[in-house]
Amino acid sequence: MDHRLLEIIACPVCTGKLYYSQDKQELICKTDNLAFPLREGIPVLLENEARTLPAEESHP
């Protein structure tokens, strides 16, 4: 994941900061407890494509 891209993209739900999870290949919004997938290295920032994070994953 390109570090420069992480600086400019935001959560499509709350416009908050996204964090990259390298092991799961997802972008995480800690505010909304959502994980957005990466497909072939491209972020899929659609709310209906995101998964809701379980409580144990939401705040590492």
Distance, C-alpha 27 to centroid of its chain: 2
Give how far the C-alpha of residue 26 lies from the chain's centroid of Cα atoms, to the nearest Å: 5
Q: Are 59 and 43 in contact (CB under 8 A)?
A: no
Residue 21: C-alpha distances to residues 25, 57 (Å): 6, 11
pTM to 2 decimal places: 0.86
Percent of the chain beyond pLDDT 90?
Answer: 72
Average pLDDT over the chain, rounded to an integer: 90
pLDDT tens by residue, 17-32: 999 999 999 999 999 9
Q: Are strands 34-39 and 51-52 parallel, antiparallel or unpaired?
A: antiparallel
For each of the domains in the chain, give its residue range(s) and CATH number, in order of start.
3-53 (2.20.25.10)
